[in-house]
Structure 1
Amino acid sequence: MGWSRLPLFRSHHYVCRRLLATRAKLSPLADAFNYHGLKTNDEQRNKTTGLFGYSVLTSPHSFQSFVKSTTEECHILCNEAISQTRVRKMVQILDDMSDALCRVADLSDCIRMLHPDEAYRYSAQKACQLIGQLVEELNTNSELYNASVRANSTSQKDKLIPDIHMDNVDKRVLGLFVADFELSGVQLQDPCRHEQFVRAASLALNYGSEFVEGCYSTVTLPSKYVANSYSDSSELIHPLSDHPDPFVRLSTYRTYYAPIDGQEKRLEQLLNARHEMAQAAGFENYAKRATLHSLAETPENINEFLEHVCRKLRPISAEVVRKQLLPIVKNSYQKITTHDNVPVNSNSKLIWPSDLPYTIGVKRQTLCSHNLADYFSLGACMEGVSQLASCLFGLRLEVVPVQPGETWHPSVIKVHVYSNKSNSIEPIGIVYCDLLDRPGKPAQDCHYTIRGGRCIFNGFYTQSYQSPIITLQLTLSPSESSATPPLLSLGQVENLFHEWGHALHSMLARTRYQHVTGTRCSTDLAELPSTLFEHFALDPRVTLEYARHWKTGQKPDSREIIALQQLSIGRGLGLSLEVSQQVCISYQKLYIYMPILHYYS
């Protein structure tokens, strides 16, 4: 299902002609993202709706009825599935059930993270917990599991008539449903274990939510640590890793990542609950359960892969550190050896974690000294996404007005995705773009599948297609005035393209069943389309097609083209170190779930 502190993004309804004259008009799509979306017209203003267009979601209390109606729907579907007289394929019934559950769970997960109203966040959090409990109750339902196994049997005599007509797609998806059942240990036919699993799964869900919430607790840095940079205390959104003062980098890094009261206990509770889940389901530990249906298949294989990556990267990383980054660190520390009588470690043989982003950034800037920020307004970058979607996939992006109550914040922009190859006037999907930072918004970039795409059946035949609904979350800095657009750093440009890669994956999947649509594919593969799409972002051949100066609308000139080419070269600098950091994080996660492995050092 998918995982700030600046002033609120100010919407505007009127811009004087003098301001309009100081900026270029790029395209309707680009201008909508640069200058606060589209106004709601009078006709739409009179049509109130609920979140994401669901008329039932008009208040925090409506989540309770949303969960209740979904629970009733799932019980009806469960009775249909175990009936000996059912007329639909088992896989169709299970997918209907999965669609109903995911619609509540994923939507609620999005709202609990992004809605500025605490009452909405609390209600959405409770909805997530209740649906999570319902999922595990269904996953440990022996009657439902046995009926699914019979439908999935290779023996024709064990099947009901509807399941005899399954094709390879039906069989594959039904097999995935059966595999999900067995992750809960339902095949062990032990009621005590089933109860233990449901209880542990509920605890794990609660502890996980509490831990994530704790990760976004306010972090303040007293002004005495950074002279002339902060007021009495400043709220840290992230460590100031690009600051030229090494003391500022180190102190903000240590402060931001300092232990948070109660977090260690919550983590221990989460790990214990997941371990209990795994053992109740018949697994040795949670790592064995989590990797069973992955491409790697076992924790041991993952460990071996990480060891191999480490061996390959270590000499490359050491060379980059010694020749490229250490001179920058040394120069940085030579400029300042003390700060408010606090000594700074000036050991030129070491690069602290707090130094890494700064040194890589400085080195990349030496390769590309030209300032290109004015060419990467949010609107221009969205135009790049749109051009790529059209060129590669025959898709068209169009910003549309929202109805009152449809979104959780005025800065959210609604995009319809159309197929140029279709004669239909209906979009093939909808993307809600919550891209700008605001107080209280989690500092992360992610993709939520609010509703998965799938076929709607009339008996055995497809009647229509349920279009996907997606939310994209980024934390881009809003512009300082309504006359200027948000300008993206190069890393933010890549992140924007990455998240749109996820969204387009969901748009293009067009699978028969929502259980496997878009990013609901194998976890190993979910990042592949987005990573590929991200690599287009700063390739000079692509960038020149969409990069436009926000004031003049002009393309980059010859000097800036050279800078773009240097930028493309510089992107690879430090990549080995960044991947090495990810390997360390992977090792840590693997270790806490399976500590008996021997790790490469």
Structure 2
Amino acid sequence: MLCARRVGGLGTRAAAAWPERAGLGRLGARIRARGVSTSWSPVGAAFNVKPQGRRLDLFGERRGLFGVPELSAPEGFQIAQENALRKADSLVARVCSLPPGPRTVLLFDELSDSLCRVADLADFVKIAHPEPAFREAAEEACRSIGTAVEKLNTNVELYQSLQKLLADPKLVDSLDPETRRVAELFMFDFEISGIHLDKEKRRRAVDLNVRILDLSSTFIMGTHFPNKIEKHLLPEHIHQNFVVTGNHVVVDGLHAEAPDDLVREAAYKIFLYPNAGQLHCLEELLSNRDLLAKLVGYSSYAHRALQGTIAKNPETVMQFLEKLSDKLSERTLKDFEMIQGMKMKLNPQNSELMPWDPPYYSGVIRAERYNIEPSLYCPFFSLGACMEGLNILFTRLLGITLFAEQPARGEVWCEDVRKLVTPPDLGHCTKTVFSNISCGPRLTETYSASHESGLDRTAVVHESEGLLGYIYCDFFQRADKPHQDCHFTIRGGRLKEDGDYQLPVVVLMLNLPHPSRNLPTLLTPGMMENLFHEMGHAMHSMLGRTRYQHVTGTRCPTDFAEVPSILMEYFANDYRVVNQFARHYQTGQSLPKNMVSRLCESKKVCAAAEMQLQVFYAALDQIYHGKHPLRASTTDILRETQERFYGLPYVPNTAWQLRFSHLVGYGAKYYSYLMSRAVASMVWKECFQRDPFNRAAGERYRREMLAHGGGKEPMLMVQGMLQKRPSIDDFVSALVSDLDPDFETFLMDSE
């Protein structure tokens, strides 16, 4: 009942002033009673305690997943997809009956949105929901919507309605830049499906697309499939490091961190041993991609994949990789010498440096030189502290505050999922409204957000911008949960016909240990950095407030999409930021500055060799997706590229490319990680290194880079932020300069 809700002011000060009346103030008291002496803000407290169970709600209606009423049961996916398909049919009819104009693009986007809102949600549920019935229903919904999209991609009348718009110079000139770009992106999506071709070629394009999807699925499964070997072929003393079944030893990974050289060598040679079926699958996948690209008018798959990116074409990518490799070469050789020296020290009988050595020995060097045992850092990085740090950073930099909100019954797929709302800065409000989960006495009125596609919530609202969106935090380990940290768009933002803005909904998925009765979840430095990285994606989704959902948030070129997330890693490694939140969960002591400095410098140990490895992977990806037929087998190309771009010897009878799963999702785009890091590095150094809390720089970052999503050419966004158009040499210099040691830490280390 509305009158029974607890309403009050949000913030640490309110909780401190009226502790006995503050809902989350009492929560903080419970934390202290468990031996946690630090006082947390509401968002920090919400993540530093084990959920106490849902409120007793005898009369409340069970809501569906993400507040979508139909999804209170698995059968609801059938209803949701049928509703989406009916709406899609209606929108197609409207598009085809209207004269071409700006409204054509709006209807195309609404058509895309009606299908994406089911497909994107189902894409997440099919891998993350703990109940098989929900996963299976979501999988079927994905197939159904996918089939519908394929039909739309071959709907000639629909295509012609867009073609008429873009073929009329006067109409094109009347479009604003974002609308024109979205129209061109829709046209690109049509044409890469071959709709502009004659009937026979169009049928061929459809067949190739289907074949590529099947091959991609098969290849992905094969990248994870374990290899086995008869156990008598391996020394008995290393059997314990693997799974033994009957007369075989099963190897399901590279065991890169194993201290025993023989274990790593065996894992490398067995796990990467060529599988004929997987090899044929990769060759077919690359060949079919090339055939499709040429059929729709591109000279290679890479040329097709890189249209609209920062790099624009594969020639620029290879120039970037070659220049970066040249600049790294001397540093990489020194890294290899250092790694080999450590191997010789620990294993003088077998000191030759091999590809299975760098991950382990570089870790040994880091630990020995900087004493960065993760257990020393974890007590300072409780999950609540890290969330509070993000909240502080976003508030000071972007004027955004995070609030934890109680999900409705049935809204989330697991009871430990937390829900965040992201309103703009309350400090700029003349009228403030508060959530029912806040703490403190009643200071202001309640505000009930309008019912929007099943998301009827009470939340914090800014009088001029309003609520920005919702972030569901699926942070904790559970059985059958994918072991990956990632960001999912559940619903994209867009401006609706009635003038309201459709708020974005995203999920952040991590795999953190659960808090216990006496211990909050403690993060390693790597986990903390991953949290900041994924939250960078979430903020991109929240702040990419475009008119069209087709280009909202992270729906932008791959070599730009990673910039906001990688930029957050720079904030996570800056002591001025870390000092705002890294406090010991028991004593409240701040993390000493020298520990942060050592941690940051430790990441530079052998970093040139690691970056060189990424250059090798990116170059291999480009060659595989370049000119066809390939000049040699994929394994011979691997060997040649490894010798040219990495330096450590190829190991006979191995085929690492058959485990390169990124060839599916990042085909011809693996370089994006490096280019995005280069852009993020330049943005950090130019705009935030002097003051990571600079509000003016934060507002410019939002205005120039985040706000446009994919609605603006990526290089123009970078240029707007940096006030110059960076060259390939600028990108290379930014990456290489990140490897330079910090002089202050060097002096401290030598004392």
**TM-score with structure 2 setting the length:** 0.68
Mapped to 2, the partners of 1:94 and 1:305 lie a distance apart of 36
Which of 46, 70, 77 is matched with 2:91 structurally? 77
Q: Which AA in structure 2 matches 1:369?
A: N
Residue 529 of structure 1 and its aligned partner are, at CA, apart by: 1.0
Q: Which AA in structure 2 matches 1:310?
A: S
Mapped to 2, the partners of 1:265 and 1:438 lie a distance apart of 36
CA gap of 1:232–1:524, structure 2 versus 1, over 3 A, is closer
Mapped to 2, the partners of 1:198 and 1:118 lie a distance apart of 32
8 Å CA contact retained: 1:326, 1:351:
no
What is aligned with 1:466? 502
Mapped to 1, the partners of 2:237 and 2:188 lie a distance apart of 54
Q: Which AA in structure 1 matches 2:192?
A: L
In structure 2, runs of 5+ residues without a counterpart are 1-26, 434-459, 462-466, 632-640, 646-751
Q: Which AA in structure 2 matches 1:291?
A: L
Q: Verify: 1:191 aligned to 2:199, yes or no.
A: yes
- The alignment partner of 1:173 has SS state of helix
Q: Verify: 1:369 aligned to 2:371, yes or no.
A: yes
Q: Verify: 1:522 aligned to 2:525, yes or no.
A: no
Which of 576, 579, 593 is matched with 2:611 structurally? 579
- The alignment partner of 1:433 has SS state of strand
8 Å CA contact retained: 1:477, 1:486:
yes
What is aligned with 2:216? 208
In structure 1, runs of 5+ residues without a counterpart are 1-13, 335-345
8 Å CA contact retained: 2:38, 2:583:
no
1:248-259 alignment, distance < 5 Å? 248-253=263-268
Q: Verify: 1:591 aligned to 2:594, yes or no.
A: no
1:298-447 alignment, distance < 5 Å? 298-322=313-337, 324-334=338-348, 346-353=349-356, 355-369=357-371, 371-420=376-425, 421=428, 423=432, 425-426=460-461, 427-447=467-487
Mapped to 2, the partners of 1:386 and 1:258 lie a distance apart of 47
CA gap of 1:122–1:197, structure 2 versus 1, over 3 A, is farther
Residue 151 of structure 1 and its aligned partner are, at CA, apart by: 1.8
Mapped to 2, the partners of 1:482 and 1:269 lie a distance apart of 53
What is aligned with 1:101? 115
Q: Which AA in structure 2 matches 1:361?
A: G
What is aligned with 2:583? 548
CA gap of 1:411–1:394, structure 2 versus 1, over 3 A, is same
Mapped to 2, the partners of 1:43 and 1:261 lie a distance apart of 58
CA gap of 1:436–1:111, structure 2 versus 1, over 3 A, is same
Q: Verify: 1:452 aligned to 2:492, yes or no.
A: yes
CA gap of 1:413–1:215, structure 2 versus 1, over 3 A, is farther
CA gap of 1:15–1:154, structure 2 versus 1, over 3 A, is closer
Q: 1:542-575 CA deviation, whole Å, 9 max, x = no partner?
A: 111110112222212xxx3212222222222222
- The alignment partner of 2:87 has SS state of helix
CA gap of 1:567–1:235, structure 2 versus 1, over 3 A, is farther
Residue 85 of structure 1 and its aligned partner are, at CA, apart by: 5.6
What is aligned with 2:676? none
Mapped to 1, the partners of 2:128 and 2:226 lie a distance apart of 16
Q: Verify: 1:40 aligned to 2:40, yes or no.
A: no
8 Å CA contact retained: 2:98, 2:104:
no
- The alignment partner of 1:448 has SS state of strand
Q: Verify: 1:241 aligned to 2:243, yes or no.
A: no
Q: 1:377-399 CA deviation, whole Å, 9 max, x = no partner?
A: 22222222111111111111112
Q: Please report the RMSD computed on the Cα atoms of aligned residues, expressed in angstroms.
A: 3.3
Residue 446 of structure 1 and its aligned partner are, at CA, apart by: 1.5
Residue 25 of structure 1 and its aligned partner are, at CA, apart by: 4.5
Q: Which AA in structure 2 matches 1:242?
A: E
Mapped to 2, the partners of 1:532 and 1:110 lie a distance apart of 25
Q: Verify: 1:535 aligned to 2:570, yes or no.
A: yes
Mapped to 2, the partners of 1:219 and 1:397 lie a distance apart of 46
**Which is further off, 93-102 or 418-427?**
418-427
Mapped to 1, the partners of 2:203 and 2:271 lie a distance apart of 40
**Which is further off, 173-182 or 383-392?**
173-182
8 Å CA contact retained: 1:194, 1:280:
no
- The alignment partner of 1:194 has SS state of helix
Q: Which AA in structure 2 matches 1:33?
A: F
Residue 301 of structure 1 and its aligned partner are, at CA, apart by: 2.7
8 Å CA contact retained: 2:226, 2:251:
yes
- The alignment partner of 2:351 has SS state of coil
- The alignment partner of 2:487 has SS state of strand
Mapped to 2, the partners of 1:530 and 1:263 lie a distance apart of 33
Mapped to 2, the partners of 1:350 and 1:575 lie a distance apart of 17
What is aligned with 1:294? 309
Q: Verify: 1:567 aligned to 2:599, yes or no.
A: yes
Q: 1:214-252 CA deviation, whole Å, 9 max, x = no partner?
A: 545578999956466678679988654334333344445
CA gap of 1:227–1:267, structure 2 versus 1, over 3 A, is closer
Q: 1:479-533 CA deviation, whole Å, 9 max, x = no partner?
A: 5x44222322222221111110000011111111111111112222111111111
Q: 1:446-497 CA deviation, whole Å, 9 max, x = no partner?
A: 1111111111123xxxx11111111112223445x44222322222221111
8 Å CA contact retained: 2:100, 2:162:
no
Q: Which AA in structure 2 matches 1:347?
A: N
CA gap of 1:269–1:400, structure 2 versus 1, over 3 A, is farther
CA gap of 1:375–1:16, structure 2 versus 1, over 3 A, is closer
CA gap of 1:452–1:15, structure 2 versus 1, over 3 A, is closer
CA gap of 1:46–1:252, structure 2 versus 1, over 3 A, is farther
Mapped to 2, the partners of 1:83 and 1:151 lie a distance apart of 13
What is aligned with 1:167? 176
What is aligned with 1:511? 546
Mapped to 2, the partners of 1:476 and 1:261 lie a distance apart of 37
- Aligned positions, number: 561
Q: Which AA in structure 2 matches 1:327?
A: G
8 Å CA contact retained: 2:243, 2:250:
no
CA gap of 1:331–1:381, structure 2 versus 1, over 3 A, is farther
8 Å CA contact retained: 1:50, 1:57:
yes
8 Å CA contact retained: 2:100, 2:161:
no
Q: Which AA in structure 1 matches 2:120?
A: D
Which of 132, 154, 162 is matched with 2:146 structurally? 132
Mapped to 2, the partners of 1:191 and 1:393 lie a distance apart of 52
Q: Verify: 1:491 aligned to 2:526, yes or no.
A: yes
Mapped to 2, the partners of 1:31 and 1:368 lie a distance apart of 32
What is aligned with 1:151? 165
Mapped to 2, the partners of 1:252 and 1:439 lie a distance apart of 26
Mapped to 1, the partners of 2:269 and 2:419 lie a distance apart of 39
8 Å CA contact retained: 1:220, 1:235:
yes
Q: Which AA in structure 2 matches 1:587?
A: A
CA gap of 1:419–1:254, structure 2 versus 1, over 3 A, is farther
